[in-house]
Chains A and B, each alone.
Chain A
């Protein structure tokens, strides 16, 4: 199924919106969906590892958004990761550390993966309690994540020639 998709950009929101803060990426993605629907597909998923490879395949650009608990920042802080960072952290888990393997595996299998990839995450307070609300700090910071994601998507949109935006 390698080949190009109809739209050049994928916004991949990772998490779970019935687990409190774990849904932060979903909310951010939903806030941007209408604005960028002409150039981007939006996918929400609780999966990771190999499933991500299948989702990413065929896009030119991919923006991944997720929640994270580093314990080193205040809840609501936006953290950007570089794929190179992951490569240094060799933790063999398809669930938690699947990205480096996915990228490496895709390269070895000759899959058509995005050439541009950005990873935005927000430090969260509670991704363990079943509920549909965000904790207050994270809820307050949601617009910041939306803005950060928007800036990236605008940049990519500008670089895509002759896109029919309507």
Chain B
């Protein structure tokens, strides 16, 4: 480092350290009920008001290096192993990137089987979030004791039968996924040009029964959400409160009629007024999506290149984008299936029209998407082609570059591979869903902290309400880092100006 640069650097560091000492600091570490772990730092000023709030996550390192030199065909298996939570999303994005790499389209039946697998996954994953991860905030209540805001609390509130229904449905969906993918967690279904396994005609009744029950389950979930959340004025007030509102751009994959599609289509971005800003193919993602780096986070914050990075702000001039259920419903003109479309209309009616800017509406949008996933499963299993044995087209082209995109439950997921002529990887780049949401998520944490914490008054309920801001996005950080259950209690600490702990929460 040059001497003058070093001087400025040291001065800046000293100033930052001094500022830090002058602030009282609250840490929520780690965030509960998330996959991966992160922490929130809330900095208070002398009056006890929130000056800044940061959302930090751990880093997953070395993906590119790990990939280079491996055969591209291994990527659907390798990338699915990055994440124990949404392996199917990685598997499918990788499979689609291989289609693109080898310039081969899957057979019609192959595509339908992929879509069947993918919609099963969406239904199961969304259900998990509604009942277990984020839903407890509403079903049990945001002010309820931490020990109750979990699946046990949900069952206490909704009854043991609901618990049995949730567990039973989840198990059956996972069994169907294991049938197609070999195993649930690291599926081996997708191949360039198609799939490895189809549905046997003898087994179709099992899928049909599951499809019927899956749709009933999705509709039941909408009813539960409606009864517990939408009929509770206090909750609706919370969902629509300014603390949880950002007017950003919204990104999602749409079909040729601009309807929500989880598996395939063009990527559409609408602005805060709901107008289309840009629509592009996955292969053009680098022209439209860029990454911004902040010194306080490992996450690269994606933004819309067409507008540019203008900081953590919202409004029509901001390049901040948002993905996941809320964004998908905003980015599309309609749902692709009739009952989901009905639910979507009701959703926009209740929340004041499209686009909806309320972060907590993600939970509601997720339930609407469950219905689309379930209806799509039903359509697919009733399609005569689903038992076809024409599962794969064999690639013949020399590979160069392949880019694939899917809508993961948590938002738009990009896989980008480059290979030599043998199909051996020379480059890999992933933009995961949570990264696409990271700027808005950081804004949500700060805004809710500023809106909720005043005069230094911090209690567990308030901290949970700050956490709720990002839990709604269903974020998944540092995919697949795993630690033994029980070792990650929630901690919240308040420091005085001299950095002494004056208050500590432990859940």
A residues whose Cβ falls under 8 Å from a Cβ of B = 1, 14-19, 22, 45-51, 53-54, 66-70, 81, 85-86, 89-101, 104-105, 108-109, 119, 121, 127-131
Q: Which residues of B contact A109 (CB under 8 A)?
A: 160, 163-164, 167
* Residue B69, interface by CB 8 Å: no
The docked-state distance in angstroms from the alpha carbon of A88 to that of B132 is 20
Interface residue from B59, B163, B478, B490 paired with A105 (Cβ < 8 Å): B163
Per-residue CB contact flags for chain B residues 74-114 toward chain A (1 = under 8 Å, else 0) read 00001001111101000000000000000000000000000
Q: Which residues of A contact B133 (CB under 8 A)?
A: 94
**Interface stretch (choices B197-205, B394-402, B481-489):** B481-489
Query: Does the CB pair A50–B132 fall under 8 Å?
Result: yes
Q: Which residues of B contact A50 (CB under 8 A)?
A: 128, 132, 151, 167, 170
Closest chain-B Cβ to A113's Cβ sits at a distance in Å of 13
Contact flag A108-B152 (CB < 8 Å), given A47-B185, A121-B484, A130-B60: yes
Interface residue from A14, A18, A49, A96 paired with B488 (Cβ < 8 Å): A96
Interface residue from A15, A54, A108, A128 paired with B59 (Cβ < 8 Å): A128
Nearest 5 A/B pairs, CB to CB:
A46-B84, A92-B150, A96-B488, A130-B66, A99-B485
Query: What are 24 A-B residue pairs whose CB atoms fall within 8 Å in the complex?
Result: A1-B171, A14-B484, A45-B84, A46-B482, A47-B84, A69-B483, A89-B486, A91-B32, A91-B486, A91-B507, A92-B147, A93-B32, A93-B488, A94-B150, A95-B35, A96-B483, A97-B485, A97-B489, A101-B151, A101-B152, A109-B160, A127-B483, A130-B63, A131-B66
A46-B81, A105-B163 are known; give 12 further A-B pairs, CB within 8 A: A14-B482, A15-B482, A50-B151, A86-B486, A90-B147, A91-B488, A92-B33, A93-B32, A94-B33, A96-B32, A128-B58, A128-B478
Query: Does the CB pair A48–B84 fall under 8 Å?
Result: yes
Interface residue from B33, B163, B483, B507 paired with A68 (Cβ < 8 Å): B483
Q: Which residues of B contact A53 (CB under 8 A)?
A: 167
Closest chain-B Cβ to A159's Cβ sits at a distance in Å of 26
* Residue B497, interface by CB 8 Å: no
The docked-state distance in angstroms from the alpha carbon of A136 to that of B136 is 42
Query: Does the CB pair A66–B82 fall under 8 Å?
Result: no
Q: Which residues of B contact A19 (CB under 8 A)?
A: 480-482
User: B478 — nearest CB in chain A belongs to which residue?
Assistant: A128
Query: Does the CB pair B482–A16 fall under 8 Å?
Result: yes
| Most chain B C-beta atoms within 10 Å of own C-beta, residue among A69, A90, A105, A119 | A90
Q: Which residues of B contact A45 (CB under 8 A)?
A: 84, 185
Residues B50-70 near A (CB distance < 8 A): 58-63, 65-66
Query: Does the CB pair B81–A16 fall under 8 Å?
Result: yes
Number of A-B pairs whose CB atoms are under 8 Å? Answer: 158
User: A22 — nearest CB in chain B belongs to which residue?
Assistant: B482
Q: Please, how many residues of chain B have a CB less than 8 angstroms from a CB on the other chain?
A: 55
Query: Does the CB pair B481–A127 fall under 8 Å?
Result: yes
Closest chain-B Cβ to A81's Cβ sits at a distance in Å of 7
Query: Does the CB pair B164–A54 fall under 8 Å?
Result: no
| Most chain A C-beta atoms within 10 Å of own C-beta, residue among B32, B37, B151, B152 | B151
Q: Which residues of A contact B163 (CB under 8 A)?
A: 105, 108-109
* Residue B268, interface by CB 8 Å: no
Query: Does the CB pair B61–A119 fall under 8 Å?
Result: no
* Residue B450, interface by CB 8 Å: no
Closest chain-A Cβ to B298's Cβ sits at a distance in Å of 10
Q: Which residues of B contact A69 (CB under 8 A)?
A: 483, 487
The docked-state distance in angstroms from the alpha carbon of A91 to that of B83 is 22
Q: Which residues of B contact A1 (CB under 8 A)?
A: 171
Q: Which residues of A contact B485 (CB under 8 A)?
A: 48, 86, 93, 95-100
* Residue B339, interface by CB 8 Å: no
Query: Does the CB pair B483–A89 fall under 8 Å?
Result: no
Closest chain-A Cβ to B68's Cβ sits at a distance in Å of 11
Query: Does the CB pair A66–B32 fall under 8 Å?
Result: no
* Residue B155, interface by CB 8 Å: yes
Residues B485-507 near A (CB distance < 8 A): 485-490, 507
Residues B325-378 near A (CB distance < 8 A): none
Query: Does the CB pair B490–A91 fall under 8 Å?
Result: yes
Query: Does the CB pair A105–B84 fall under 8 Å?
Result: no
